[in-house]
Structure 1
Amino acid sequence: MATEGKGVAIEAEAEAVKEMNVMVAVDQSESSFYALQWALENLFRRKGAAVETEEVGMVTVVHVQQPFHNYVLPAGPGIYATSTVIESVRKAQEQNSSVILSRALRLCKDKMVKAETLILDGDPKEMICQAAEQMHVDLLLVGSRGLSKLKRAFLGSVSDYCAHHAKCPILIVKPPEEKLSRESST
């Protein structure tokens, strides 16, 4: 009888994972993909023969494109950015988003976790918090690039902003030191 109770507990735990609405924010940084990998390995996979082969849960992978401001800017003496230039910048942003989300979906597929993607336009820190609130996310995961205090002060930190403004629990996943130092040197 003790083993029956344990089996029910494992099934209940797997069922709780299935119901969890998790959002992971990704960008081109390796630290954001480390956060996604961490989520896939620690939140969606359970040890044990019975559960290991099942799909357990779904993740929403969100990427935010920086807004392209349609200002008329001089591109040289008497030359201004045209609608063709603006359109090519937008197309490049869309291609970049597609590459980022394709990589994220491949990671999810490799771990047998269902995933959906979301591309937003705007300030990443504000849009991530807004999307998490609108989608009633149970947990928001973001990576941490390990910016110095000075860089955080000037550039801002998406993870820091989300930690203070998200209306749901947030997990900031920091990569191991060797990954941080490799990424900051590039």
Structure 2
Amino acid sequence: MKVLIAVDGSKFSRDALEWYMKRIHLRENKIIIVHVTDHLRNFAYNTSVIPADPELIQLAYQEEEHKARALMDEMGDFLTKNQIEGEVIRLFGNPGELIVKKAQEIQADLLISGSRGLGLIRRTVLGSVSDFVIHHSEVPVMVYKH
């Protein structure tokens, strides 16, 4: 079975990966871990960035890049340490769209995502990646919500 697991570095995506490993994973499964960087969406979450201040934007961008690289390394180490066949992929753009597209592209059998549990206002304004994935994926989806 080929399983795509979407991670964003949050506790929720780590919990989803852990839940999968404890309850579903079989040695013969291949895991494709996908992280999508969407700078515009991430800036919307960070209310401390003032759009008119280029220095703050550059610092926020650098911090986001550092976190993304660290997450990619962590996930690669996870696969190696646990002797799991798989790969870690980083994409850039709209997370929901790219996760759905990648799952179809690799012909995944299952797509797993964590749910941040955004409040109603943020979910309405920013959208929810897991909601998008559920409604647009042709691949079966499991959303882990703690």
Q: TM-score range by the shorter chain?
A: 0.7 to 0.9
1:155 Cα deviation from its structure 2 partner: 2.5
Match of 1:141 in 2: 112
Cα distance in 2 for partners of 1:59, 1:174 equals 20
Cα distance in 2 for partners of 1:116, 1:156 equals 28
Greater relative CO (CA pairs within 8 A, separation 6+)? 2
Q: Which aligned pairs between 1:16-165 and structure 2 lie closer than 5 A?
A: 20-45=1-26, 55-67=27-39, 75=53, 81=54, 92-165=63-136
Q: TM-score, normalised by structure 2?
A: 0.78
Cα distance in 2 for partners of 1:105, 1:74 equals 37
Is the contact made by 1:40 and 1:111 (CA closer than 8 Å) also made in structure 2? no
State the Cα deviation string for residues 122-178 of structure 1 (Å, max 9, x = none): 011111111111111110000011223333212211111100001110000112xxx
Quote the RMSD (CA, aligned, Å).
Answer: 2.4
Q: Could you list the runs of 5+ residues in structure 1 that have no partner in the other structure? A: 1-19, 46-54, 76-80, 176-186
Looking at CA atoms only, which structure, 1 or 2, has the larger radius of gyration? 1
Is the contact made by 1:67 and 1:123 (CA closer than 8 Å) also made in structure 2? no
State the Cα deviation string for residues 34-80 of structure 1 (Å, max 9, x = none): 111112222224xxxxxxxxx43220000001146xxxx754xxxxx
Identity of aligned residues (%): 30
Is the contact made by 1:142 and 1:171 (CA closer than 8 Å) also made in structure 2? yes
1:89 Cα deviation from its structure 2 partner: 6.7
Letter in 1 for 2:10: S
Deviation beyond 6 Å, 4+ runs, structure 1: none
